Amino acid sequence: MTLVSFSRKDPLIVVPVTIKTETKIWEYKFAVDTGATISLMDISLLSDIGYKKEDYIRSTQTITASKTETVYEYNLDNIMAIGLIRRNFKIISRSLPMGLGIDGLLGLNFFKNKELTIDFKLSEIQLK
């Protein structure tokens, strides 16, 4: 069980995320998004850690608040957040709007088969 604090001042619940590749460990900030079925990472950052656009597993359509767009699905070797490590983890990628202050979204697929508790009073998120 891991407990992570988040800022009450931020409009999003932002948590640190670590992605491990064969050559490096990368640190990012992702928003917890319980309205997203699949996790998402900004396409430019995915490129920075060594994935090429043509490495995608498949392309698919996703619906955002304002439109439908094509996204690309990848498998990350290793991603960790809130004390949970997922290997061979499915993530989609597209450009995120500027100014959000995040690198991606942790969607429901990250939390699958776990108990997620968000305590807004204490500004803490916990995963068991």
Backbone angles phi, psi at 55, to 5 degrees: -80, -5
Tell me which long-range contacts 68-71 makes (C-beta under 8 A, separation of at least 24).
69/94, 70/94, 71/40
Q: What is the mean pLDDT of residues 75-103?
A: 92
Task: Tell whether the model's pLDDT for residue 94 goes beyond 90.
Answer: no
Residues 100-113 as b/e (b if ≥16 CB within 10 A, e otherwise) read eebbbbbbeebbee
**β 84-94/40-42 pair status:** parallel
Q: What is the residue whose two structure tokens read 């064969």?
A: 22
Q: Convert the pLDDT of each residue in 43-87 to its tens digit.
A: 889 888 988 878 889 988 887 777 888 889 999 999 999 999 999
Rounded-to-integer distance, Cα 123 and Cα 120, Å:
5
| Short-list 30, 23, 55, 45, CA closest to 109 | 30
Q: Given phi > 0 = left and psi -120 to 50 = alpha, else beta, which region is 119?
A: beta
Q: What is the pLDDT of residue 62?
A: 82
Task: Please report the domains of the chain, with CATH numbers, ordered by start residue.
Answer: 2-127 (2.40.70.10)
Q: What is the pLDDT of residue 99?
A: 83
